[in-house]
Amino acid sequence: MLVLAIVLSLGEANASAVFAMVFAEVALGAIVLTINVILLGGELVFFQAVCLLGYCLFPLVVAAIICASIQNKWIRFFVTLGCLAWASVATIPFIGNAVPRGRKMLAVYPVMLMYVSLAWLAMVKT
């Protein structure tokens, strides 16, 4: 989470605002994820959710670093898309096993929305 926020804030005119936005998005995402899983009848602790998001954000950190160093929009798009798929595949087993079988998609969907927004931030970074 910290590395992603640092990478996305490097070179920005208002770096502290970008850092705070990314940090807050991931922190609030962990809170919403935990509440969502608990309301769906699953077992997940807040710190477990933070660790889960931290580990599964690694591909998006890789995408942010690559996108920060490459100017070709198509390469950035495909790198971000691949890293988004990697992060999603890494997250689904953890979140899916935390909730009852029939509610997996309801638990995974908010996480994917957060990942898409973070991937978008990584892709459009100039």
Residues 52-77 as b or e (16 or more Cβ within 10 Å = b): bbbebbebbbbbbbbbbeeeeeeebe
Tell whether the model's pLDDT for residue 122 goes beyond 70. yes
Supply the pLDDT for residue 13.
Answer: 83
The residue ranges of every structural domain in the chain are 2-124
What are 70-115's pLDDT values in tens digits? 889 999 999 999 999 999 888 888 888 888 888 888 888 888 899 9
